[in-house]
Amino acid sequence: MAQRNGIKLAQDEVNASGMLDPVRLEVIVEDDASNRDQGAAVFQKFIENSHVVGILGPTLSDTALAVDPLAQQAGVPVLAVSNSASGITELGDFIFRDCLSESQLTPQIVKMVKSRLKLHSAALLYADTDPNRSGSHAFKHALQDAHVRIVSEQAFAADAKDLSGEIAEVASSNPEALFVNAPTHAAAEILMQARRYGLAGVPIVGGNSFNSASVLRAAGDAAEGLIVGSAWTRNNPSPRNQQFIDRYRTRYGIDPDQLAAQAYTGVYILADGLQRAHTVSDQRALRDALEQTRDLDTPLGKFAFNDTHDAAYPPTVQIVHLGKFQTY
């Protein structure tokens, strides 16, 4: 919902501004149900029936790794707005992302957490899926590079509801911090179960799926003290970021989260590319224009793509305090 809200807000702003006059930007939204097969069907529909000039999404890295090659083969630019897993932009030269990758976020998170907590040992808990294994491996390598001893590694099935056994194993190893990679739907439950089954006083460092206001609302007090790396923070005082927050809050009655900010920014990145390419239909021209994106003023900061089509801006690290993300 946060992504959809951000997309709709940006679409309406672009059209009201006359940015692409005389053409109006139309964003078609379809649900892939976080499923590879359905995601493939949606991509084929966009490519073959709707003849879109570009695609935003999908939401999950696991789906993106499966379906982005369809757009690459068809020569349709894809802008990932929430896929942090390794290998996304390596799928081809039509694939971009405005969120930060694990390789950009993870070392910064580990470096700061080690420094702040004087960390000597840590445990890993992760869902047994490709993106979450990848995220956990990124944490593992960063921890090893930082000379932090890993005292326990526990994997669980992505659809598991009861993690008491895995969490008890982690607790028995007495880690000084727990690093977790899990699907978004499992994030809040993991926080609650961790606090319930022996990790009440242990700092938890979450992967990208934990960086959502919906996770904080669902987890309640169990989210207090959660640490996450972030591509966006509401505490950034830049006028463009504060304008986005005010407009989002006015329209929807709630504050935006990182997913909303990245989706909102994604629409502006595509619109800016279309404007500079002087086209609303030439997909290759849009791709070429996206590669030349420089210093675009967005809620994420001054935006550009690097040589690998990943986002080029510095990450931040946040901690949950009194139910809200604060700069760590």
Residue (of 8, 13, 94, 92) closest to 272 by Cα position: 13
Residue 47 has pLDDT above 80, yes or no: yes
Note the pLDDT of residue 211: 86
246 band by pLDDT with thresholds 50, 70 and 90: very high
Confidence of residue 149 (pLDDT cuts 50, 70, 90): very high
pLDDT of 193 higher than 90: yes
Residue range 117-144, pLDDT digits in tens: 999 999 999 998 877 787 888 899 999 9
**pTM reported for the whole predicted model:** 0.84
DSSP assignment, residue 305? B
**Model confidence at 230, in pLDDT bands (50, 70, 90)?**
confident
Q: What is the pLDDT of residue 208?
A: 82
Average pLDDT, the chain: 93
Q: Which residues are CB-contacts of 277 (< 8 A; sequence separation ≥ 6)?
A: 285, 286, 288, 289
CB atoms near residue 30 (< 10 Å): 15
Q: What percent of the chain has pLDDT over 70?
A: 100
pLDDT score recorded for residue 287: 98
Cα dihedral value 227, 233, 235, 240, nearest 10: 180
Which is higher by pLDDT, 212 or 251?
251
Q: How confident is the model at residue 85 (pLDDT cuts 50, 70, 90)?
A: confident
The CA distance from 11 to 213, in Å, is 23
**Ranges assigned E (strand) in 6-120:** 55-56, 78-80, 95-97
Q: Is residue 13 scored above 90 in pLDDT?
A: yes
Q: What is the pLDDT of residue 313?
A: 87
The full set of domains in the chain, from first to last, is 2-100+236-303 (3.40.50.2300), 103-230 (3.40.50.2300)
Alpha-carbon dihedral angle through residues 260, 94, 135, 35, given to the nearest 10 degrees: 70
Q: CA distances (Å), 187 to each of 201, 212, 316, in order?
A: 18, 10, 20
